[in-house]
A and B are shown apart, each in its own frame.
Chain A
Amino acid sequence: AQKVTQAQTEISVVEKEDVTLDCVYETRDTTYYLFWYKQPPSGELVFLIRRNSFDEQNEISGRYSWNFQKSTSSFNFTITASQVVDSAVYFCALAPNSGYALNFGKGTSLLVTP
């Protein structure tokens, strides 16, 4: 069975703070893919990143960075120097190697206040 857990339901930070969103997953597959999506108030899910299970290198894209650790089955997402426009619901998702349906966590609602 595949499962994604995002234990943080809501996070509130003040602008310019750093914030980390946690994602823990369960799978029996040795090959799988992990994703992060952003869902702003407009509702449209925006793709942020895809990682495969064989690539444990951390990735940085501007103010965004991702920490993938197979040993702890975690794929955490950090926003550095948060901005009000980062306010959204963020979803972590898992896809098996033999399938295509994304298994989403319940999401973390991030509120960045001025």
Chain B
Amino acid sequence: GAGVSQSPRYKVAKRGQDVALRCDPISGHVSLFWYQQALGQGPEFLTYFQNEAQLDKSGLPSDRFFAERPEGSVSTLKIQRTQQEDSAVYLCASSFRDYPYEQYFGPGTRLTVT
């Protein structure tokens, strides 16, 4: 079946602009995760949803980062007033149920802030 999809695949933003990154999880997957992957590093956890509830946002680096999943399926990660340090690949993952099921990742959105 279809995997996790993300859009756009690439985004270039000027410093100070707002961006919105979209994630379509695998149909029927309850849990959804966002990770940030800097160049040459492993992914780092940002936030977690179980259905529409955001249960953990402890990894969001600042209050400029905001995520939502209003109907328990598609999720959007929004970054306000982008800074150069926000440049990274943003990965979305979903899993069938809650922990400890394996997470399936999308292709990511590469964000470049100039």
Which residues of A does B touch, CB under 8 Å? Answer: 4, 33, 35, 37, 42-47, 50, 52, 91, 93, 95, 97, 99-107
Contact = CB atoms under 8 A, between A and B. Distances in A.
Is the interface on chain B under 10, 10 to 19, 20 to 34, or 35 or more residues?
20 to 34
Contact of A106 (B40, B105, B106): B40
Interface in B67-97: 89, 91, 93
B28 to A, nearest CB: 17
- Most A C-beta atoms less than 10 A away, residue of B44, B89, B99: B99
Contacts of A97: 100
A104 B45 CA distance: 9
B4 to A, nearest CB: 8
A102 B45 contact: yes
A90 to B, nearest CB: 10
